Copies of this chain bind each other. A is one copy, B any other.
Amino acid sequence: MHPEVLDKCKQASQASNEVANCPTTKKNRALNNIADSLQNNKKSILDANSIDLGILKSKDHYSTAFYDRLLLNEERISSMAEGLYDLAALDDPVGEVTGMWKRPNGLAIGLVRVPIGVIGIIYEARPNVTVDAAGLTLKAGNAVILRGSSEALNSNKALVEIIQQSLIENDLPAGAVSLIEDTERTAAHDLMKASDFLDLLIPRGGQSLIKTVVDNSTVPVIQTGVGNCHTYIDYNADLNSAVNITVNAKVQRPGVCNAMETLLVHKEIAPRFLPGVLPALTRLGVEIRGCSQTAAYSPEVKPAADQDWKTEFLDLILAVKVVENIDEAIKHININGSGHSEAIVTDSYENSRKFLSRVDAAAVYVNASTRFTDGAEFGLGAEMGISTQKLHVRGPMGLEALTSLKYLVYGSGQIRE
């Protein structure tokens, strides 16, 4: 195994035992202390960040969106610190007894929430993920091994140094939060194969990063993020709600995973709904890619290609399709969706129930914007991305998602007959 990866795996493994049994007050003190320290060391963080930004700018091509994700400033550092203060204030999920019962032979069996152990996170050039992920995993009693991208290396090193310093000052092992500094592929590859040390690997980033991790990891993975979300406007939808929800789901923040990518419209409401909503969307800068029936309602509609129904645009682009009925809409969603967030706008009791039970996704909405799929909006507190898989956790991953369970069995000499 890659020597740095092996070294940090071993340290994390040892640290995880200590953190797992650490009292809540001590973890919270460390979180608050890290937050203070981020505030007090803004200059050194920004210096490191400007090295990363300088290297990026020296390249021939880079996107402004990429630059923006990499950029730190005083406000963004304060916001990372705020996130940690908030996290310290949340309930500790560790130690919760989720059930306890007695068996006929007298054994008392309890199920208690425990940390997962060692969690690996592979992510792209967003330094805020470094602090975010470290805070969440630590609060849930885990050790974490971070593997950011080369473009953010100096920023990440500065942040992890501050975190580790605070851990040591709070009598916690520095190995509880570590950063793989070798940004070559072999290091990431070996982390994906480190199933002797890692209990979980979470990729945070775009579709290709997630696919690489899923295809190569022998460590259990939680897939997050890809959201090809739909809104279906039923035949009897309230027109006002339908327009508001459509516009909000597409336009309010198009670059995030819970934004709508495809609008499905019942053929009976299309003549009343599309002539109003299409120009409204166009005025807001949205490019419409529609089926042939949609095109009849606006000259600005471009023809949708097959691939458009499967695409997470993450941009001001919307695919629009007129459907025969709710069944066609549900079928279209279950075939093309990514299992993230799906909405129906309807006044039909029966269709609301049908949509909720038949659509297979992490979050299914009636008469609301898909944009609410989010840990804070759902009331779960902080989150570590949105799971689009069905195992372990689905939807926003709060602190509980970073825990496992353990059976405690209290006996008095019982043996099996």
Contact = CB atoms under 8 A, between A and B. Distances in A.
Interface extent on A, as a size class? 35 or more
Number of copies of chain A assembled together? 2
A415 interface: yes
A335 to B, nearest CB: 10
A220 interface: yes
Contacts of A107: 368, 372
Contact of A409 (B195, B240, B372): B372
A405 B380 CA distance: 15
Contacts of A51: none
Nearest to A238: B413
Contacts of A252: 415-416
A214 B356 CA distance: 34
A46 interface: no
B378 A404 contact: no
Nearest to A401: B391
Interface in A363-417: 363-369, 371-373, 377-379, 389-392, 394-395, 404-416
Interface in A207-251: 214-215, 218, 220-222, 238, 240-241, 244-245, 247-249
A5 to B, nearest CB: 18
A371 B245 CA distance: 56
A368 B404 contact: no
Contact of A245 (B109, B389, B415): B415
Grouping DSSP codes into helix (H, G, I), strand (E, B) and loop, the A interface class, with mixed when no group exceeds half, is: mixed
Contacts of A21: 357-358
Contacts of A244: 413, 415
A215 B371 CA distance: 37
Contacts of A116: 390-391
A408 B238 contact: no
Nearest to A249: B415
A242 B392 CA distance: 37
A220 to B, nearest CB: 5
A411 to B, nearest CB: 3
A134 interface: no
Contacts of A17: 334, 358, 360
Nearest to A405: B394
Interface string A141-178: 00000000000000000000000000000000000000
A362 B391 CA distance: 18
A12 interface: no
A77 B410 CA distance: 36
A249 B411 CA distance: 14
A200 interface: yes
Given A248-B416, A391-B199, A416-B248, A379 B411 contact: no
A62 interface: no
A103 interface: yes
A391 B368 contact: no
A390 B221 contact: no
Contacts of A103: 377-379
Contacts of A415: 244-245, 247-249, 252, 368-369, 371
Interface of A: 17, 20-21, 101, 103, 107, 109, 114, 116-117, 195, 199-200, 214-215, 218, 220-222, 238, 240-241, 244-245, 247-249, 252, 334, 356-358, 360-369, 371-373, 377-379, 389-392, 394-395, 404-416
Given A195-B214, A363-B406, 6 more contacts: A21-B358, A199-B389, A362-B406, A367-B412, A368-B415, A392-B392
16 contacts: A21-B357, A109-B378, A109-B379, A116-B390, A116-B391, A220-B390, A222-B391, A245-B415, A364-B407, A365-B411, A366-B409, A367-B412, A368-B411, A369-B414, A394-B404, A395-B405
